[in-house]
Amino acid sequence: MGRWNTTTQMGRIVKIPFILMAVAGLSACGGSTTSVGPTPTTPIAGNVLGTAGGATVTGTAHGVADGQPVAMTIGGTTISGLVRDTTYDKGVLKAFVQSEFDPVTSSTFSNYDAGHSGVSSTGAMSASVMNTDFKSTEAGGILRGANYARVSGGTMPTTGTGTFTGDYAGGMGASNVSAFIITGDVALSADFGASTISGSITNRVGKVNILGTPNNFADVDLGSTAIGADGAFSGTATGGEFVPFGTVTSNTSTYQGLIGGATGTEAAGAVNLLINYDAGGTIRNTTEVGVFIAE
């Protein structure tokens, strides 16, 4: 659950008649008193959608039992053979993978097409992400997409600060590299008085192919950016590199999201990491698209 502090001072009722009379006397002489009331808020509408990665994702794995079919589309294309796989769940973000024979690993499961979807504990926020592999025939190659939404409206504080912690999941690949499934932990810090937010994604672990060995990815820094009156934000992301890919030559990455929940204690969003490497003269241009839900 999001935690936040406010700077509003609450008056205390004192039962000593002399003090009450003194306050009344000050008022009569032109003095002023501090008004007492709830923390100032602004309304934020529901049914607000954000996208990242270039392709729209529809469907959800939330509520689907392990091993059961999952109906998802990306870029308007329905991907067949997707099933729930709890092995790759990250908290509220539930995983799905393509269940078909992979001749490379001699396994029934492949991650040619894979992703995650989920909702916050209250259902006020949702997010879905999907990445297809360069070998994907249905998607016609690589497609990466993410959706996040504020499903229901609420209010957002306009004073004080808040912290949000939660889950991250996504995928990364290049023109000829099988997609990684990557998970991690997200943390956001908001200053509602200054209308700013920043954060990080840490403990990032990825697997190449479903049966691959886990690899560690660098943390992602989510730079400070403005929160709009509607609770939306977007900014610059740095880090996130996979060192074995070579020397980083450029990193033009971004993140975006929404504040939500009944009282502004939840957040959902997406990252789009565009990192280029020089691996001894071989240039690798990678893209990672992922989503987060934090409370």
User: Tens of pLDDT along 147-167?
Assistant: 999 999 999 999 999 999 999
Of 199, 188, 191, nearest to 159 by C-alpha is 191
Print the domain residue range for 175: 39-294
Q: Has residue 29 been placed in a domain?
A: no
Q: Has residue 33 been placed in a domain?
A: no
Answer whether 112's CB lies under 8 Å from 98's CB: yes
Distance (Å) of CA 258 to CA 52, 101, 113, 147, 262: 13, 39, 27, 11, 13
Using CB atoms within 10 A of its CB, is residue 269 exposed (0-12), middle (13-18) or buried (19+)?
Answer: buried
Q: Has residue 34 been placed in a domain?
A: no
pLDDT for the residue numbered 208? 63
- Tokens linked to 87: 């092995």
Write the pLDDT tens digit of every residue in 39-88.
789 999 999 999 998 888 999 998 999 999 999 998 888 888 899 999 88
Return the minimum-mean-pLDDT range out of 120-124, 179-183, 230-234: 179-183
Write the pLDDT tens digit of every residue in 181-221.
899 999 999 999 999 999 999 999 987 655 566 778 899 99
Q: Has residue 7 been placed in a domain?
A: no
Distance (Å) of CA 56 to CA 135, 178, 202: 20, 21, 26
Answer whether 92's CB lies under 8 Å from 167's CB: yes
Report percent pLDDT > 90 for the chain: 53
Tally of domains in the chain: 1
> Which secondary structure element, helix H or strand E, spans residue 270, and what is its range?
strand 266-279
Q: Has residue 163 been placed in a domain?
A: yes
Q: Has residue 22 been placed in a domain?
A: no
Q: Has residue 188 been placed in a domain?
A: yes
Judged against a pLDDT cut of 50, whether residue 20 lies above it is answered with no
Q: Has residue 265 been placed in a domain?
A: yes
CA dist., res. 274 & res. 282, Å (int): 17
The b-or-e profile of 9-20 (16+ CB within 10 A means b, else e) is: eeeeeeeeeeee
